[in-house]
Amino acid sequence: MHSFRFKLGILLAIIAGAFIVSQVVYRDTITSMHDSVFSAVDTLEIVHRAEHFHSSIHVMLYLALRYSEQKDGKTYEEYKTRRTSARNTIDALIKSGGPNGDQHHVKEASGQPAGDLRSVFHAFAVETDAVFSGADEGTSAHLEKARLLFDDIFRNYLTVIHDYHEARLVSLRNGAHQMNKRVTFLFYGQLIIIFLAAVVALAFSDRVLLNLYATTERHAFSDGLMGLKNRRYLDDVVVGEARDLIHKDAPFSILFADIDHFKSFNDAYGHQAGDKLLNEFADHLRQGIRRADTVVRYGGEEFLAILPGADKAAALAVAEKMRKQIKSADVLLPSGEQGKKITASFGIASFPDDGIRKFSALLKKADERLYLAKTSGRNRVVC
């Protein structure tokens, strides 16, 4: 049992270890995929905000130019809306810039501090606001400065940010291909692990579990003292086989054997001598039957032999041979001394000779004949 537990523990440890390793790799892969997806989303959000900021300041410049020509109040209201949108967008852009959500992203992409972008935008807004101040003097100069600042923002910040994040997206795309390879490798790796675990489990079940089952079955159907089949084997196996023989009209015989005066022998020499005698008696029965026959310890000093294919005459010959062999055999006690010789009585029932088609009735008939042999003087065969 300890050996079985050890081997079962090894098998379970192998399966558990393979499962844990695969799950760790699976979790790391899923975590990497999660991080890559969120990194891609963050990158796209930053690019979108940069594009929105670019669009807002471009419209601001366009509206300032149109206002300088038409002095339209509606244009000024639209301008204020765009300026507010641009200011909010630049704040969000700087706040969310970079993979860690800090303000180093803009500097990393453009080489300029994030505060510089806000300062340049402020200077740009000052120039475009001046166009809407109402004074015509200097409008062209303000527009010109606004154009230069717009070009500075676009060239030194927005274009660089766009290129930087486009490169990040390319890197993420390549990483996604590598991730796909890892997931595919993990998938087939888990299949291989499951297959190997199944092979190991089958080998284990074949070499250990089946052997254990055979050992358990052998012990369940065997007598612990003599190694003969026991009463359970008679009830669970022999009865079914005998019924099949009856159904096929195949002849067989039941032979009951009992040691004469066994209690007296046991009382005279002790239980150890009695156990030794039972073992020797079982050996005589084994030697007297064929390979196809079965000997069962029916209980105490009573034994039962099933002889397939043997009619009454054949069974009688087998029983007589056993009886003579037992009568003539020396009996050695556990001490090595010579014990009193023993004899045995036999009762036989045969199918179809006795005209009985039920195994239980045949068993009863053989038992009755054994009893008759005992009461009529012992050391004889009744059939």
Mark whether 124 and 236 lie in a shared domain: no
* Residue 282 belongs to a domain: yes
- Domain containing residue 97: 2-197
Integer CA distances (angstroms), 13 to 16, 17, 21, 77, in order: 5, 6, 12, 74
Mark whether 158 and 296 lie in a shared domain: no
- 95-137 pLDDT, tens per residue? 765 333 344 444 444 444 445 888 888 999 999 998 888 766 7
pLDDT value for 218 = 53
Catalytic residue among 69, 78, 217, 301: 301
Least confident of 14-23, 129-138, 316-325: 14-23
pLDDT value for 14 = 74
Mark whether 193 and 248 lie in a shared domain: no
Mark whether 297 and 365 lie in a shared domain: yes
Task: Please tell me the total count of domains within the chain.
Answer: 2
* Residue 209 belongs to a domain: no
pLDDT value for 224 = 63
Mark whether 161 and 249 lie in a shared domain: no
Alpha-carbon gap, residue 354 to 361, rounded angstroms: 10
Mark whether 187 and 243 lie in a shared domain: no
Cβ atoms within 10 Å, residue 215? 11
- 215-234 pLDDT, tens per residue? 545 556 666 677 788 888 88
Residue 61 burial (10 A CB sphere; 0-12, 13-18, 19+): buried
Q: Are 197 and 21 in contact (CB under 8 A)?
A: no
Mark whether 176 and 69 lie in a shared domain: yes
In the predicted structure, residue 62 carries a pLDDT above the cut 50? yes
Beta strands in 142-283 (DSSP E): 252-259
Alpha-carbon gap, residue 168 to 162, rounded angstroms: 10
Q: What single-letter amino acid sits at 206?
A: D
| CATH number, residue 76 | 1.20.120.1730
Integer CA distances (angstroms), 261 to 79, 240, 366, 375, in order: 125, 33, 20, 12
List phi, psi (to 5°) of 123.
-65, -40
Mark whether 252 and 320 lie in a shared domain: yes
Whether the model pTM is above 0.75? no
Q: What single-letter amino acid sits at 304?
A: L
Active-site residue, 368 included: no
Residue 302 burial (10 A CB sphere; 0-12, 13-18, 19+): middle
Alpha-carbon gap, residue 247 to 185, rounded angstroms: 61
Least confident of 155-159, 167-171, 261-265: 167-171
